[in-house]
Amino acid sequence: MTDSPLEILQRRFVRSVTFLSDPDFVKGATGGGTLTPEEAVDVYRKGYPARLTEALGETFEACWRVLGDEDFFAAAAAYIARTPSTSYNLSDYGASFPDFLEGGAAAHLKNSDAPFLGDLARFEWTFKELFHAKPHEGLSAAILAAQARPEAVLRFGGAVRLLSLKHRVHRIWSRDRSDASPLTPPDWTGAETLILYKDEGNPVFVYELTAPEFQALTALAAGRPLQDALASAEGLDAEGAKKLFAFIADAGIVTEVR
């Protein structure tokens, strides 16, 4: 079946916006105002990367501050050229930007050498996802304490994320966000484990976890019984386990005990 004239026109227009101006499309267009047809197509073609760059800038605000305008825009342009937007929602754009910053972006950066950028972007993407996630209603500390037997399995709510990163980026991200000037990162060397969560009516909370705490929470999230999960965390002593349980109860991240 051959494509209809409308289908052909739409395909050519989209190609002209996202890739290269299609000569057949330009031939069939008339520019508005004093624009030539080619200039008129350019109006749309320039808008496309501008909107996607803005979307990346909103999600990856800290990466932008670290990179500065020149490098951030260069990285965004290179990413946009190879990653078309497929969602109707602009804020969905950039899921693979952390991997790009970690890998292919280096060739496009003039001033920056920041090995932690991929992790910083990963943190920002996770934060964005959690910001839009549905808040869950966690069990109160009293109910959790009453129900949490050693063999109990704790089910975490939907607005909880555990994040293990190769670099310490949380402190970079949490610097003064009202200040848009280029950021000199504090010491970022070493791994970092984090929990991000939110509950009803509250913003997203971020806490840095010790490696044993992260291991225990990961085991719990995977459905291992409480006692097993705590025991699986190397270096988590009785005092540490008590402290972690108190945190879990206060944070309201558990929605069900089985």
For binding to other proteins (CB under 8 A), which residues are involved?
Answer: 4-7, 9-11, 13-14, 17-18, 28-35, 37, 39-41, 43-44, 47-48, 51-52, 84-92, 131-135, 201, 203
Cα angle 209-215-221, degrees, rounded to a multiple of 5: 100
How far is CA 171 from each of CA 45, 131, 168, 195, 202, rounded to the nearest angstrom?
38, 19, 7, 14, 21
Shortest distance in whole angstroms from residue 125 CB to other proteins: 15
Shortest distance in whole angstroms from residue 204 CB to other proteins: 9
Q: Where are the alpha helices (DSSP H) in 60-116?
A: 61-82, 97-102
By beta-carbon proximity to other proteins, the closer residue of 206 and 209 is 206
Return d(Cα 85, Cα 197) in angstroms, integer. 28
Q: How many CB atoms are located within 10 Å of the residue 49 CB?
A: 17
By beta-carbon proximity to other proteins, the closer residue of 85 and 218 is 85
Return d(Cα 25, Cα 178) in angstroms, integer. 45
CA torsion 31→36→37→42, rounded to 10°?
A: -100
Contact (Cβ atoms closer than 8 angstroms) between residue 254 and residue 137: no
By beta-carbon proximity to other proteins, the closer residue of 13 and 73 is 13
What are the tokens at 12? 């050519």
Which residues, in sequence order, are CB contacts of 92 under 8 Å at separation 6+?
85
Shortest distance in whole angstroms from residue 37 CB to other proteins: 7
By beta-carbon proximity to other proteins, the closer residue of 25 and 245 is 25
Shortest distance in whole angstroms from residue 12 CB to other proteins: 9
Report which secondary-structure segment, H or E, holds 193: strand 192-197
By beta-carbon proximity to other proteins, the closer residue of 218 and 255 is 255
Shortest distance in whole angstroms from residue 198 CB to other proteins: 8
Which residues, in sequence order, are CB contacts of 39 under 8 Å at separation 6+?
31
From first CA to last CA, the distance across the chain in angstroms is: 57
By beta-carbon proximity to other proteins, the closer residue of 31 and 182 is 31
Shortest distance in whole angstroms from residue 69 CB to other proteins: 19
Shortest distance in whole angstroms from residue 68 CB to other proteins: 23
By beta-carbon proximity to other proteins, the closer residue of 49 and 68 is 49
